Structure 1
Amino acid sequence: MSYLFLIPVSLGLGLSALAAFFWSLRTGQYDDLQGAAARVLGPDTTPLPPLKGDRTNG
């Protein structure tokens, strides 16, 4: 069985991944990495809505 068809498939996948990486660079996905890390560790300022059927509030 010939597996030569895998060469264009792997080249296509590699070029797709490279295109996705360059797209993420162009759209600013990597601009503020430190701010995102700080937001994860900070307190959540938006309260969660109460659950349906929650009887703890009376």
Structure 2
Amino acid sequence: MDILYLLIPLSSVLVLGILGVFAWALHGGQFDDLEQHGEQILDIDADALDRHQGPQALRIEKSVRRP
């Protein structure tokens, strides 16, 4: 029974800490635009990637590219 005197305040502090981090993320704009980064992958120019990856990546991408 004595352990409850320790566990209840610790759990309350933990919950308040989690809520504080969540509020900080909301205030910082972490959840403003959830789709932007997912669509950013699709918008990357394939030619810009090919220059840095070499001829092997170019052949792989052409074989995977759909008509």
Same fold (TM over 0.5): yes
Question: What percentage of aligned pairs have identical amino acids?
Answer: 36
Give 1:8-23 correspondences, 5 Å limit.
8-23=9-24
1:7-51 Cα distance to aligned partner (Å, 9 max, x none): 000000000000000000101001110112212x42475536xxx
Aligned ranges 1:1-58 → 2 under 5 Å? 2-4=2-4, 5-39=6-40, 41-42=41-42, 43=44, 45=48, 47=52
Matched with 1:56 is none
Q: CA RMSD in A?
A: 2.2
Task: Return the index of the structure with the highest Cα Rg.
Answer: 2
Greater share of helix = 2
- Length, aligned pairs only: 47
Task: Determine helix, strand or coil for the equivalent of 2:12.
Answer: helix
